[in-house]
């Protein structure tokens, strides 16, 4: 007989129910918000909402981990809203997990991250927000009739041999690519829709093989479908329109069969080898995007100067004049939250639009991605990461952590630096390396290898935001999320930001984002206490009272 455990009926908390639930049991959550986490290892359970999908919210914001974490076992989850901030909303490290009619929200983490050989089946799952939507890394399963909208980076990532089947799924309004397939991944993408991406719609790279069938890709800032060197792809009966040129880009080193529909002969006109032609309209669009960023006047001028130099060099080359060797490697210095990552992304896409780099893809790594655990392992890891970034931007955050502290010979960070120096010189025309970190510490990083500083074309200093700029950032974030500021709130925000100490812990734009999150929570409590259904204006307006609650 199947056991059913009701929360908060028989058991006051979700944790209480999970601790005593036998294998095969069903835990049923009543509508409401549960400030808890679900952590399961080796369990066979079902967790579902008793009400409508999304009525039971497992909110792990501020807690140390994902809202749902499964490392082995067999788990079914139905109808829950799962929310986190710096962690994935759902993290699956093994076992079999089935998600059905769930809503996933994350801040800086992915909505769903599956690895460790896990099998994850997602059906009618909606991603509300997150850095990435679904990430399948050395994992399999199915993605069926899901919706991923408005994530800040890639919508779906499939990598490290992962082979999910993605069907009937809509991916839209992503900050970067819609679907990114790389590192020998083998997904099937069938009857999906990809649109409104900040870069390409679907990218297949690095020895991957995929089938893209009856899929509609449209309104993308980059090409609709990109097949990279060494990849195998079948693009069958797909519709690709309203994208950058070419709609479908196939590298000469790829093996691809492409048939398109409803595109007026695009199989002949639009499927071309990715070349080095410049896209003046895209350059102008990206420079406009750069200019729209708040503050950073000095950085914007530096980037424009680099772009001008690249453009003039191309004109000289076309005129038969000599052109000296140019490095595209950069150093970004300054505190966190000052826009370094965003500028690095735009820079990579500018290099692609100028024909300097073939794809402009962005790979962000840190020390743990480069440094191994024994002699020789670090060079292998660093080389692998570098090769994955070929054709685009390799962004190394907190790069100073690689510098050997106090001459400690056992620190393999120095091996990573030495390997990078050689690779940057050997492949300077194939990749742009950007290292970032605090200003003073980056000086120590450059001293770690005598040839390191000479590899970089320029250092750009990202200054802390002032109160005026932080108010503008807060207002932009709020308007993006359909909120408005009540009278007097901008002035109060200015005073608050002006009082904050600009020390190493100051988060710049992150301070604004964190404060707004606190204000939204305060607004929720205020509206719940009104005793009536709030109006549309009530729901949109953040007030001085919300700020006072958030900062105290």
Say which range, 211-225, 267-281, 404-418, has the weakest mean pLDDT.
267-281
Strand ranges (E), 242-316: 248-250, 255-260, 271-272
Quickly tell me which residue has 């190493």 as its tokens: 504
Segment 6-21 shows an average pLDDT of 90
The whole-number pLDDT of residue 504 equals: 67
What is the Cα gyration radius of the chain?
25
* Mean of per-residue pLDDT scores for the chain: 87
**90/67 Cα distance (integer angstroms):** 6
On whether the CB atoms of residues 58 and 83 are closer than 8 A, the answer is yes
Q: What DSSP assignment string belongs to 79-109?
A: SEEEE-SSS-SEEE-SSEEEEES-EEE-SSS
Q: How many alpha carbons fall within 13 Å on the CB side of residue 261?
A: 8
Going 276 to 277 to 278 to 281, the CA torsion angle's sign is negative
d(CA 18, CA 24): 12
For residue 150, pLDDT beyond 60: yes
Q: What is the mean pLDDT of the segment spanning 430-435?
A: 88
CB 88 within 8 A of CB 60: no
Q: Which long-range contacts (CB under 8 A, 24 or more apart) does 233-241 make?
A: 233/204, 233/209, 233/257, 233/258, 234/210, 235/259, 235/260, 236/211, 236/212, 237/213, 237/261, 238/212, 238/213, 238/214, 239/215, 239/263, 240/201, 240/216, 240/266, 240/270, 241/217
> If DSSP codes are grouped into helix, strand and coil, which group holds residue 405?
helix
pLDDT band at 287 (very low <50, low <70, confident <90, very high): confident
> How high is the pLDDT of residue 262?
65
Q: Residue 409 above 60 pLDDT?
A: no
Find out whether 126 and 105 touch, Cβ atoms under 8 Å. Answer: no
pLDDT at 145: 93
Average pLDDT over residues 483-508: 83
Share of the chain above pLDDT 90, in %: 43
Cis peptide leading into residue 246 (ω within 30°): yes
Q: Looking at residues 320-341, what average pLDDT do you find? A: 80
**Cβ atoms within 10 Å of 480's Cβ, excluding its own:** 9
* Half-sphere exposure at residue 258, Cβ-oriented, CA atoms within 13 angstroms: 26
Q: Which two tokens stand for residue 198?
A: 């900040």
Q: How confident is the model at residue 361 (pLDDT cuts 50, 70, 90)?
A: confident
Here the tokens at position 478 are 């709020």
d(CA 80, CA 124) in angstroms, rounded, equals 12
* pLDDT, position 455: 83
d(CA 345, CA 197): 14
- Angle (CA) 53-478-285 rounded to 5° is 105
Residues 84, 39: Cα–Cα separation, whole Å: 14
Decide if 465 contacts 434 (C-beta within 8 A).
Answer: no
CA separation for the pair 383, 380 (Å, rounded): 5
Asked if the model's pLDDT at residue 362 lies above 90, the reply is no
Domains of the chain and any CATH numbers: 4-272 (2.160.20.10), 280-462 (3.40.50.300), 467-551 (1.10.8.60)
pLDDT of res. 269: 30
pLDDT band at 531 (very low <50, low <70, confident <90, very high): confident
Question: Which helix (H) or strand (E) element contains residue 519?
Answer: helix 509-528
Is residue 437 very low, low, confident or very high in pLDDT (cuts 50, 70, 90)? Answer: confident
Distance, CA of 229 to chain centre: 23
CB 343 within 8 A of CB 332: yes
Say how far residue 494 (Cα) sits from the centre of its chain: 30
Q: Give the position of tokens 């009619």.
A: 101
Residue 167's pLDDT is 95
The model's confidence at residue 411, banded by pLDDT at 50, 70 and 90, is low
pLDDT attached to residue 21 = 92
pLDDT-wise least confident of 66-80, 152-166, 191-205, 345-359: 345-359
Please list the helix, strand and coil fractions of the chain in percent, rounded to the nearest 5, in that order: 30, 30, 40
| pLDDT at 430 > cutoff 90 | no
> Span 210-232, mean pLDDT?
94
Q: d(Cα 475, Cα 6) in Å, to the nearest integer?
A: 42
According to DSSP, the residues that pair with 28 across neighbouring strands are: 6, 48
pLDDT class for 323, splitting at 50, 70, 90?
Answer: low
**For 441-476, how does the pLDDT look when each residue is reduced to its tens digit (9 = 90+)?**
888 788 877 778 888 878 888 888 888 888 888 888
The predicted pLDDT at position 104 comes to 97
- Is 254 exposed, middle or buried (CB count within 10 Å of its CB: 0-12, 13-18, 19+)? buried
């Amino acid at each position: 007989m199947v056991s059913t455990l009701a929360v908060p009926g028989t058991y006051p908390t979700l944790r209480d129910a999970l601790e005593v639930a036998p294998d095969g049991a069903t835990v049923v959550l009543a509508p409401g918000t549960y400030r808890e986490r679900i952590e399961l290892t080796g369990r066979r359970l079902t967790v579902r909402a008793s009400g409508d999908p999304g009525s039971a919210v497992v909110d792990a914001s501020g807690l140390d981990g994902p809202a749902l974490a499964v490392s082995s076992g067999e788990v079914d989850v139905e109808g829950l809203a799962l929310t986190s901030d710096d962690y994935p909303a759902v993290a699956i490290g093994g076992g079999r997990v089935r998600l059905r009619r769930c809503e996933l929200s994350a801040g800086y983490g992915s909505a769903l991250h599956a690895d460790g050989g896990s099998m994850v089946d997602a059906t009618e799952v909606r991603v509300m927000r997150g850095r990435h939507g679904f990430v399948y890394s050395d994992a399999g399963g199915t993605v069926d009739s899901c919706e991923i909208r408005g994530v800040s980076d890639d919508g779906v990532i499939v990598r490290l041999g992962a082979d999910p089947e993605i069907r009937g799924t809509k991916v839209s309004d992503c900050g970067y690519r819609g679907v990114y397939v790389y590192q020998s991944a083998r997904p099937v993408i069938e009857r999906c829709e990809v649109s409104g991406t900040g870069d390409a719609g679907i990218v297949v790279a690095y020895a991957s093989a995929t089938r893209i069938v009856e899929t509609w890709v449209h309104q993308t800032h980059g090409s609709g479908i990109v097949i990279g060197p060494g990849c195998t792809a079948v693009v069958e009966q797909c519709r690709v329109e309203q994208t950058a040129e070419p709609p479908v880009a196939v590298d000469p080193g790829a093996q691809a069969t492409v048939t398109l529909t409803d595109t007026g002969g695009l199989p002949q006109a639009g499927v071309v080898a990715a070349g080095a032609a410049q896209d003046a309209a895209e350059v102008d669009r990206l420079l406009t995007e750069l200019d729209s960023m708040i503050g950073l006047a000095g950085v914007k001028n530096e980037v424009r100067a680099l772009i001008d130099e690249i453009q003039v060099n191309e004109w000289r080359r076309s005129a038969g004049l000599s052109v000296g060797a140019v490095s595209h490697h950069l150093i970004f210095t300054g505190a966190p939250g000052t826009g370094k990552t965003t500028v690095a992304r735009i820079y990579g896409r500018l290099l692609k639009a100028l024909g300097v780099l073939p794809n402009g893809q962005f790979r962000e790594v840190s020390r743990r991605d480069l440094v191994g655990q024994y002699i020789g392992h670090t060079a292998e890891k660093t080389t692998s990461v570098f090769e994955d970034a070929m054709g685009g931007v390799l962004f190394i955050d907190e790069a100073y952590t690689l510098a050997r502290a106090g001459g400690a010979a056992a620190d393999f960070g120095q091996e990573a630096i030495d390997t990078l120096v050689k690779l940057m010189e050997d492949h300077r025309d194939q990749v742009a390396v950007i290292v970032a970190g605090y200003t003073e510490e980056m000086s120590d990083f450059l001293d770690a290898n005598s040839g390191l500083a000479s590899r970089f074309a320029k250092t750009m200093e990202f200054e802390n935001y002032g109160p005026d700029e932080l108010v503008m950032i807060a207002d932009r974030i709020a308007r993006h999320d359909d909120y408005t500021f009540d009278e007097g709130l901008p002035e109060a925000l200015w005073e608050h930001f002006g009082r904050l100490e600009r020390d190493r812990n100051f988060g710049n734009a992150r301070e604004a984002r964190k404060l707004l999150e606190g204000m939204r929570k305060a607004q929720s409590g205020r509206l719940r206490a009104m005793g009536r259904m709030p109006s549309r204006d009530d729901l949109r307006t953040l007030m001085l009272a919300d700020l006072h609650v958030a900062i105290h």
